């Protein structure tokens, strides 16, 4: 069934929202104020999904995507919308989540824009597949599919990443390396992961292979990559034989050079490994770290809990305005990297614990002046929030990449007597519907 609708709003998953005959319709690749001819692709009880057949009258906020692959690649969902309006739509996403999920009527300010909207993404994760002809395919999956799009040029990542991927695509067959087939669970090379440093302009390459050990042809291929790219500090091999969509397995070995790159944030040098978490947009991340540090600096010699710490990036950046920082992270690899960072930066007032946040808090009695929370997308459990409240004297700084789970957790904290002082969005993921937020909560 074809119909003409006007796009009236924008969903938290990047769909345009239209209404027709009392039905809410989510329309992909549309912008508010578009008038479009659509065809429904899925009908549910109270809503439907649709694709665009024709743009009858484009929104004034539409623009030509700067990437020729935007329509087929699932990465930059809203690149066809001008950047200023992207920021406004993301502000609305946060506002809607806070009001509808959190019951919070704070006016959300405009997101702090990313300092760069091209070449900003410094972590690249390409699945590798293979055509029947033997040609390797490396790129991203089409939206809502497992069909890999062969991407030779991506303007939101550093140019060197394109060159490394192209080298891998062309040269792997010369080393008898095959691409992964998720249907048969055959083939050697599953993913290529590249970490790039804004500070040093160097990169770390990780080859994810479908094997329990590293073969000679993989080692020789790693050496070829390392020798062909001066900016590459090291090549790591990750072993992953799982029949799942998890990218990295549990075992990683560095076979050439160093197993990390260095990134500089607020005059602190960080070491980022193949499987340690660090923000993909370091310039935008620096804005967030400064925002958090400025808030911590308002307190006189505070004690700080850095929960879900990763490589203790928040704890390290606020260490010079804190009396003592306790960073808690359950990933041992991240904690080991954090130890190296503390030594490199001569920091002596950060204590590290390789432990689950909830278990750690239940094992102690002391309280912290400030707690910095940076959980994964799923947010925090009520049990963790209860422990945070029991161990925090004055303020919680909650950093979140998911407005919905942030709104849910803020609602719970308000029910426990906390006050949400502010919520500031930061655009970490340009041209996508994702948005980072920092909330200040007083206890």
Structure tokens at 137: 């395919």
Is there a catalytic annotation at residue 31?
no
- Rounded Cα distance, 246 and 240, in Å: 9
> Which residues touch 131 (CB under 8 Å, ≥6 apart)?
137
**Is the separation of the CB atoms in 158 and 212 below 8 Å?**
no
425, β-bridge pairs: 437
Q: At what angle do helices 159-171 and 216-228 cross, to 10 degrees?
A: 140
User: Of the listed 148, 236, 256, 401, which one is catalytic?
Assistant: 401
Which 3-state string (H, E, C) describes the chain? Answer: CEEEEECCEECCCCCEEEEECCEEEEECCCCCCCEEEEEEEEECCCEEEEEEEEEEECCCCECCCCCCCCCCCCCCCCCCECHHHHHHHHHHHHHHHHHHCCCCCCCCCCCECCCCCCCCCCEEEEEEEECCCCCEEEEEECCCCCCEEECCCCCCCCHHHHHHHHHHHHHHHHHCCCECECCCCECCEEEEEEEECCCCCCEEEEEEECCCCCCHHHHHHHHHHHHHCCCEEEEEEEECCCCCCCCCCCEEEEEEECCEEEEEECCEEEEEECCCCCCCCHHHHHHHHHHHHHHHCCCCCCEEEEECCCCCHHHHHCHHHCCEEEEECCCHHHHHHHHHHHHHCCCCCEEEECCCHHHHHHCCCCCEEEEEECCCCCCCCHHHHHHHHHCEEEEEEEEECCHHHHHHHHHHHHHCCCEEEEEEEECCCCCCCCCEEEEEEEC
What dihedral angle (degrees, nearest 10) is formed by the CA atoms of 346, 351, 356, 359?
180
Query: What residues act catalytically?
Result: 401
């Amino acid at each position: 069934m074809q119909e003409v609708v006007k796009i009236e709003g924008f969903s938290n998953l990047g769909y345009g929202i239209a209404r027709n005959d009392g039905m809410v319709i989510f329309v992909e690749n549309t912008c508010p104020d578009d008038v479009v001819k659509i065809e429904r692709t899925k009908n549910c009880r109270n809503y439907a999904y649709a694709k665009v057949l024709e743009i009858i009258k484009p929104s004034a906020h539409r623009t030509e995507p700067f990437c020729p692959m935007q329509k087929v690649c699932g990465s930059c969902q809203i690149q066809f919308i001008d950047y200023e309006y992207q920021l406004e739509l993301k502000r609305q996403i946060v506002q809607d989540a806070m009001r509808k999920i959190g019951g919070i009527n704070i006016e959300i300010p405009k997101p702090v824009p990313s300092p760069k909207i091209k070449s900003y993404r410094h972590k690249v994760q390409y699945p590798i597949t293979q055509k029947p002809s033997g040609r390797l395919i490396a790129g991203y999956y089409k939206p809502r599919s497992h069909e890999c799009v062969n991407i030779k040029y991506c303007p939101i990542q550093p140019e060197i990443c394109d060159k490394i991927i192209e080298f891998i695509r062309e040269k792997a067959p010369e080393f008898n390396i095959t691409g992964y087939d998720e249907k048969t669970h055959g083939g050697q090379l599953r993913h290529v992961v590249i970490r790039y440093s804004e500070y040093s302009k160097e990169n770390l390459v990780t080859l994810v292979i479908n094997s329990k050990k590293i073969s000679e042809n993989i080692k020789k291929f790693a050496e070829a990559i390392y020798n062909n790219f001066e900016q590459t500090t090291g090549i790591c091999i990750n072993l992953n034989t799982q029949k799942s969509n998890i990218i990295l397995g549990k075992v990683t070995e560095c076979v050439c050079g160093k197993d990390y790159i260095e990134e500089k944030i607020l005059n602190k040098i960080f070491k980022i490994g193949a499987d340690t978490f660090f923000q993909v947009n370091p310039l935008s991340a620096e804005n967030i770290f400064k925002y958090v540090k400025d808030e911590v600096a308002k307190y006189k010699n505070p004690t700080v809990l850095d929960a879900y710490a990763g490589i203790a990036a928040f704890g390290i950046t606020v260490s010079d305005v804190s009396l003592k920082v306790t960073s808690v992270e359950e990933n041992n690899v991240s904690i080991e990297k954090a130890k190296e960072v503390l030594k490199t930066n001569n920091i002596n007032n950060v204590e590290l614990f390789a432990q689950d946040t909830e278990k750690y808090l239940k094992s102690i009695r002391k309280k912290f002046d400030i707690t910095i929370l940076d959980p994964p997308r799923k947010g925090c459990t009520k049990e963790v929030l209860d422990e945070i409240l029991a161990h925090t004297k004055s303020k919680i700084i909650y950093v979140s990449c998911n407005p919905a789970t942030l709104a849910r957790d803020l609602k719970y904290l308000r029910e426990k007597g906390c006050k949400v002082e502010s919520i500031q969005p930061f655009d970490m993921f340009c041209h996508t519907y994702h948005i980072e937020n920092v909330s200040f909560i007083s206890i």
